[in-house]
Amino acid sequence: MPKFYVVGTPIGNMEDITYRAVRILCEVDLVLCEDTRVTKNLLNKYDIKTACLSYPSDNLKPGADKANPKVEKILEMINEGKTLALVSDAGTPTISDPGSVLVSKIKETFPEIEAIAIPGPSAVASALSISGLPASDFTFMGFLPHKKGRETLFKEMAESERTVVFYESPHRILKALISLEKFVPERKIVIARELTKVFEQIITGTPAEVTKYFTVNTDKVRGEFVVMVSGR
Ligand code: SAM
């Protein structure tokens, strides 16, 4: 019976990969990637010779998969008995990343095949673990919508008794902080920036304090951000 693995990969520091992930990526017939150039970098570092194939992301909305020739090809390979591993560019596939529709399609088409998780890093868990905020239970909002529905989520944060976590890009981090100043002015905010990388940083304060920090230190408004908001 062929196997289907979903493999966590580093979120910055290339050493953050498990022995098991390296072994599985060596052993499978094919690695399904978001961007083959990114994954090949990782495979080269560990001298993994397995071939890569990109899987559809943008088009892979529910319903669009049936007509997608790449999905058909992937299903055909599984049908032929090939063992596949799915990775994303960074962290755990499907967590604010593509892949869940493909996983669902594979499980639906081949109910006898188990999807096997090969756990690895995820920015949400890494950020929470060093935030000092309560993390036994929390609300993860992924990337906030750019426009429609964005304000509703800030209102939800204002009501939340749990720590709220979301991902933000450098283009919108200041905009998000200004909204936090408006909706949760008294709360403690923790920002994890560039986790596991050379310029890793944690910034803590009220929304106004953190906004001021980034307004003064404009060189820090770059890289990758996880935003955490304490519960009320
Ligand atoms: N699948 C990934 C995971 O498991 O965390 C998330 C991928 S999502 C496309 C990318 C976002 O995750 C970034 O915009 C940032 O918000 C967050 N992220 C990823 N790597 C990060 C890092 N090294 N430091 C801080 N945030 C990171």
Structural domain count, the chain: 2
The pLDDT value given to residue 66: 58
Looking at residues 72-77, what average pLDDT do you find? 94
Percent of the chain scoring above 70 in pLDDT? 96
User: Does residue 94 register a pLDDT over 60?
Assistant: yes
Q: Which helix (H) or strand (E) holds 51?
A: strand 51-54
Number of other residues whose CB lies within 10 A of the CB of residue 177:
23
User: What are the structure tokens assigned to 166, written together?
Assistant: 């979301």
Percent of the chain scoring above 90 in pLDDT? 90
Ligand 1 pocket check for 98: Cβ under 6 Å: no
Rounded distance, CA 57 to CA 61, Å? 8
- Single out the residue in 118, 135, 170 at which a domain terminates: 118
| Between residues 190 and 114, the one the model is more confident about | 190
Looking at residues 166-175, what average pLDDT do you find? 97
User: What are the structure tokens assigned to 40, written together?
Assistant: 């090949």
Asked if residues 25 and 209 have their Cβ atoms less than 8 Å apart, the reply is no
Asked if residues 85 and 7 have their Cβ atoms less than 8 Å apart, the reply is yes
Ligand 1 pocket check for 124: Cβ under 6 Å: yes
Nearest to residue 96, comparing CAs of 151, 154, 169, 150?
Answer: 169
- We report the CATH number of the domain holding residue 85 as 3.40.1010.10
Q: Is residue 227 helix, strand or coil?
A: strand
Ligand 1 pocket check for 120: Cβ under 6 Å: no
Q: What is the mean pLDDT of the chain?
A: 94
Pocket test of ligand 1: the residue of 17, 122, 224, 227 to mutate, having most ligand atoms within 8 Å of its CB, is: 224
Tell me which residue has its CA closest to atom 19 in ligand 1: 123
- Single out the residue in 118, 137, 156 at which a domain terminates: 118
Ligand 1 pocket check for 192: Cβ under 6 Å: yes
- Single out the residue in 95, 118, 141 at which a domain terminates: 118
Quote the domain boundaries for residue 28. 3-118
Rounded distance, CA 129 to CA 140, Å? 14
> How do residues 25-37 score in pLDDT, each as one tens digit?
999 999 999 999 9
CA 197 to ligand 1 center in whole angstroms: 12
Ligand 1 atom closest to 125 (CA)? 5
Residues 193, 130 within the same domain? yes
Residues 6+ away with beta carbon under 8 Å from 193: 199, 200, 201, 202, 203, 220, 223, 224, 225, 226
Ligand 1 pocket check for 92: Cβ under 6 Å: yes
**pTM as predicted:** 0.95
- We report the CATH number of the domain holding residue 215 as 3.30.950.10
Q: Is residue 68 helix, strand or coil?
A: coil
| Between residues 181 and 101, the one the model is more confident about | 181
Q: Is residue 3 helix, strand or coil?
A: coil
Confidence of residue 1 (pLDDT cuts 50, 70, 90): confident
Confidence of residue 67 (pLDDT cuts 50, 70, 90): low
User: Does residue 142 register a pLDDT over 60?
Assistant: yes
Residues 142, 213 within the same domain? yes
Ligand 1 pocket check for 95: Cβ under 6 Å: yes
User: Does residue 61 register a pLDDT over 80?
Assistant: no
Longest dimension (CA), the chain: 58
User: Does residue 60 register a pLDDT over 80?
Assistant: no
Residues 62, 43 within the same domain? yes
User: Does residue 71 register a pLDDT over 50?
Assistant: yes
User: Does residue 62 register a pLDDT over 90?
Assistant: no
Looking at residues 35-49, what average pLDDT do you find? 98
Residues 135, 100 within the same domain? no
